[in-house]
């Protein structure tokens, strides 16, 4: 099947520091990856869409300088939360699709990263 691995599962960082979250497609080439944020008891809010080798497209209201997304290869995308503040504490989830895998698997999701900024 189409598997997406996301690391770390949880991270605690100090306010003002940066945190990098990785999202890897393990058994397929991810032409597009998506980054979501999920608040407790709420749905997923799309933050940005990234295509391999090009700049990410951010949703309205998402600060691109704060949430840096890099999709340098067909199997890896990273989200870096820069100068993190307590209000950035949340659950971040990545999703990936591949041209070959989409018909069978649709969008595949990572297990999420719980970020706590203290």
Partner 1 sequence: AQSVSQHNHHVILSEAASLELGCNYSYGGTVNLFWYVQYPGQHLQLLLKYFSGDPLVKGIKGFEAEFIKSKFSFNLRKPSVQWSDTAEYFCAVTGSGNTGKLIFGQGTTLQVKP
The whole-angstrom separation of Cα 56 and Cα 51 is 7
Asked if residue 97 binds partner 1 (CB under 8 A), the reply is yes
The DSSP H or E segment spanning 103 is: helix 102-105
Mark the segment that binds partner 1 (CB under 8 A) among 19-27, 67-75, 76-84, 95-103: 95-103
Asked if residue 93 binds partner 1 (CB under 8 A), the reply is yes
Position among 19, 69, 78, 110 found at the interface with partner 1 (CB under 8 A): 110
Helices (H) and strands (E) in the chain, counts: 1, 11
Contact residues toward partner 1 (CB under 8 A) are 6, 31-32, 34, 41-44, 46, 49, 93, 95, 97, 99, 102-103, 105-112
């Amino acid at each position: 099947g189409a598997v997406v691995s996301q690391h770390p599962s949880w991270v605690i960082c100090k306010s003002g520091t940066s945190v990098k979250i990785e999202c890897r497609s393990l058994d397929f080439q991810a032409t597009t990856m998506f980054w979501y944020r999920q608040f407790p008891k709420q749905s997923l809010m799309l933050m940005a869409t990234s295509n391999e080798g090009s700049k990410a497209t951010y949703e309205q209201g998402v600060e691109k300088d704060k949430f840096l997304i890099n999709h340098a290869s067909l199997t890896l995308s990273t989200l870096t939360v820069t100068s993190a503040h307590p209000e950035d504490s949340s659950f971040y989830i990545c999703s990936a699709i591949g041209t070959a895998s989409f018909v069978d698997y649709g969008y595949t999701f990572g297990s999420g990263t719980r970020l706590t900024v203290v």
